């Protein structure tokens, strides 16, 4: 049996309606920006394999560090025990985060980093004996697939079967110069009951790379601070260079109380999540009273291999060459965006740092279920490019090691697609 046939027998793939789905492409190996299939066909990984691979696949430095770690210490329970990779990673990460971030809690993916942040905020108020139980967040947000993370995410087709099980939150629009005052009013009116505000800074990734301004976010955050509303900044996607700076927080003056990381944290090589917080949050859990403990932990909390990968990845991120590549991709994206923004089939081009999104004019609005999605997905795959359009929004966020030639090739294929496919989908024959 082929790999595809064996896959079909037993494997259930994420975010995939398997009825009538095309068989998945078996990938045998990956190097740098490329994935290779069974026939040794090459695909440019234009979406960094679900936004995680920031330095390219199988980066030799990460491979070396993880291999050495595997020989030394593979895994150890993280309650009652500790280890150097976790300590060093905590120190390293905090050294490049805002100074108010002082404590590091390990989990193993983005959703669990969010769960921990939410629990920290809700229990912070519980431990202090203050009734603040509500969460405020943006419409269209996405913070993960566990129940807490789903509760604070936008309600849509993904959450529909579970909506009645999700806790209630207050939804507001993302800020603009014209609505900012009304958003601040909502916060003031509910402040007495608000435990925290959770948000994707600058870019709402899964919603279709929707972008909004740093100035307005800053103003909203400052207002939360005045009203004692704790802020959870979800940098699971935006962290580690994606927005052109190391973190989205580097675009902002006001600093959050908690931050969540995953995806690019390990350079995408291993699952790892981190929630950081201020000393103030941490102190609310220190007590003679055992009931004030944060009762949360996962079997693989602070796995040493993942920590070693993250340390190596952060070292790579801080290298001048990587910082230059991030700038180069950002500049080239901006130049390409200018070139195509007036194209009749382009509804909008959005760009922040290394993230470029193009919203296709469909004539019938924007939808995750747009027919155009599969047509474009197949087109780019045929051209040797892995893209994963969010409905009628295509986006590129490549590994930072991508060559100029490969970027040009991707841009050229996008221009081609714009000529071939009519607005509204179809195969454009």
Give the catalytic positions in this structure: 15, 142, 234, 263
| Least CB distance to ligand PLP at residue 357 (A) | 14
Q: For residues 241 and 425, which CB has a smaller minimum distance to ligand PLP in the complex?
A: 241
Q: Which CB, 61 or 300, lies closer to ligand PLP?
A: 300
Task: Give the phi and the psi of residue 223 in degrees, each rounded to 5.
Answer: -70, -40
- Residue whose CB is less far from ligand PLP, 111 or 137: 111
Give dist(CA 328, CA 244) in Å, integer.
10
CB nearer to ligand PLP: give 274 or 316.
274
Q: Which residue is nearest to ligand PLP (CB)?
A: 110
The answer to whether the beta carbons of residues 322 and 273 sit under 8 Å apart is: no
| Residue 296 C-beta: closest distance to ligand PLP, Å | 16
Q: β-pairing, 346-352 with 355-360? A: antiparallel
- Helix ranges (H only) for 227-299 are 279-283
The CB-of-107 to ligand PLP minimum distance in angstroms stands at 10
- What is the largest distance, in Å, between two alpha-carbon atoms of the chain? 72
Structure tokens given for 361? 């004019």
User: Considering beta carbons, is residue 171 or 409 the nearer one to ligand PLP?
Assistant: 171
Distance of closest approach, residue 84 Cβ to ligand PLP, in angstroms: 25
Interface residue list for ligand PLP (CB under 6 A): 109-111, 114, 142-144, 200, 205-206, 234, 236-237, 262
The shares of helix, strand and coil residues in the chain, as percent rounded to the nearest 5, are 40, 15, 45
- Cβ at position 90, least distance to ligand PLP in Å: 20
* 36 vs 384: CA distance, rounded Å: 10
User: Which residue is associated with the tokens 């009304």?
Assistant: 182
CA–CA separation, 123 and 25 (whole Å): 44
């Amino acid at each position: 049996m082929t790999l595809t046939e064996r896959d079909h027998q037993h494997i259930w793939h994420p975010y995939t309606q398997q009825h009538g789905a095309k068989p998945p492409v078996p990938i045998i190996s990956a190097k740098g920006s490329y994935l290779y299939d069974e026939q040794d066909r090459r695909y440019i990984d234009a979406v960094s394999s679900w936004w995680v691979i920031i330095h390219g696949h199988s980066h030799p430095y990460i491979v070396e560090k993880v291999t050495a770690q595997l020989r030394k210490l593979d895994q150890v329970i993280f309650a009652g025990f500790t280890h150097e990779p976790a300590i060093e990673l905590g120190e390293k990460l905090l050294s490049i985060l805002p100074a108010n971030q002082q404590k590091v809690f390990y989990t193993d993916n983005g959703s669990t980093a969010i769960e921990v942040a939410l629990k920290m905020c809700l229990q912070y108020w519980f431990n202090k004996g203050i009734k603040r139980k509500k969460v405020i967040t943006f419409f269209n947000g996405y913070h993960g697939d566990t129940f807490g993370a789903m509760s604070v995410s936008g309600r849509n087709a993904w959450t529909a079967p579970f909506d009645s099980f999700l806790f209630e939150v207050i939804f507001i629009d993302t800020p603009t110069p014209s609505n900012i005052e009304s958003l601040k009013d909502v916060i003031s009116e509910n402040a007495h009951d608000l435990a925290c505000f959770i948000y994707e800074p600058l870019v709402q990734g899964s919603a279709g790379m929707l972008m909004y301004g740093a100035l307005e976010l800053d103003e909203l955050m400052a207002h939360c601070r005045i009203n004692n509303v704790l802020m959870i900044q979800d940098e699971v996607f935006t962290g580690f260079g994606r927005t052109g700076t190391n973190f989205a927080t580097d675009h902002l003056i006001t600093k959050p109380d908690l931050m969540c990381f995953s995806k690019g944290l390990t350079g995408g090589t291993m699952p790892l999540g981190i929630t950081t917080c201020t000393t103030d949050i941490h102190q609310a859990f220190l007590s003679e009273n055992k009931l004030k403990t944060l009762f949360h932990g996962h079997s693989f909390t602070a796995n040493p291999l993942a920590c070693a990968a993250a340390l190596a990845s952060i070292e790579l991120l801080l290298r001048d060459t990587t910082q230059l590549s991030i700038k180069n991709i950002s500049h080239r994206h901006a130049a390409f965006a200018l070139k195509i923004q007036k194209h009749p089939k382009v509804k909008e081009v959005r760009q922040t740092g290394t993230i470029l999104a193009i919203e296709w004019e469909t004539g019938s609005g924007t939808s995750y279920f747009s027919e155009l999605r599969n047509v474009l997905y197949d087109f780019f795959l045929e051209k040797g490019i892995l893209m994963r359009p969010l409905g009628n929004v295509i986006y590129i966020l490549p590994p930072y090691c991508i060559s100029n030639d490969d970027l040009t090739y991707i841009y050229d294929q996008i221009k081609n697609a714009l000529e071939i496919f009519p607005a509204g989908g179809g195969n454009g024959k």
